[in-house]
């Protein structure tokens, strides 16, 4: 029986890949190794390697990017595209992270249910008020 491995899936979105590639290009141009940059960021020695690995969830946050910009003396904006990317990066993220997508869908369903109940309650009160008003008008006519 032959065991076949499932191909690895890329865990990073288009915008995350753009940022990571900008950091990597800068790091390589300045001949700075992954280990040295990890230490500069006060992170584990392997963090930059994990961030640059498209199959790993690790990524830079704004604090990391600020420190990278300071270290390389570049503007913070260096790491971002001049204009927004056309791809919906949130949808991209949710597709790459099914557990997050499932939590989001559950939350959205709960929110919609809550809003539906509020609307039904509002309509019920409105109907009761109209019925009470109608009853008061009939009682007044007698």
**Per-residue pLDDT, 108:** 93
Burial of 78 (0-12, 13-18, 19+ CB in 10 A): middle
**Per-residue pLDDT, 142:** 59
Reported pTM: 0.72
Confidence of residue 7 (pLDDT cuts 50, 70, 90): confident
**Per-residue pLDDT, 133:** 79
**Per-residue pLDDT, 118:** 92
Hey, what domains does the chain have and what are their CATH numbers? 14-96 (1.10.260.40)
Place of tokens 């109209």: 130
DSSP 34: H
pLDDT in tens, 114-142: 999 999 999 988 888 888 877 777 776 65
pLDDT in tens, 86-112: 989 899 889 888 898 999 999 999 999
Total length of the chain? 142
Task: Enumerate the H helices of the chain as residue ranges.
Answer: 14-29, 34-40, 47-52, 62-72, 89-96, 98-141
pLDDT in tens, 19-77: 999 999 999 999 999 999 999 999 999 999 999 999 999 999 999 999 999 999 999 99
């Amino acid at each position: 029986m032959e065991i076949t491995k499932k191909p690895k899936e890329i865990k990073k979105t288009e915008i995350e890949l753009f940022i990571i590639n900008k950091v990597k290009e800068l790091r390589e141009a300045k001949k700075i190794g992954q280990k040295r940059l990890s230490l500069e960021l006060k992170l584990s020695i392997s963090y930059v390697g994990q961030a640059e690995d498209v199959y790993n969830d690790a990524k830079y946050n704004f604090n990391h990017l600020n420190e990278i910009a300071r270290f390389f003396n570049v503007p913070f904006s260096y790491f971002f595209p001049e204009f927004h990317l056309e791809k919906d990066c949130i949808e991209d993220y949710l597709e790459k992270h099914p557990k997050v997508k499932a939590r989001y869908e559950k939350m959205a369903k709960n929110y919609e249910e809550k809003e539906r109940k509020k609307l039904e309650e509002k309509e019920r009160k409105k109907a009761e008020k109209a019925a009470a008003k109608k009853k008061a008008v009939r009682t007044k006519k007698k």
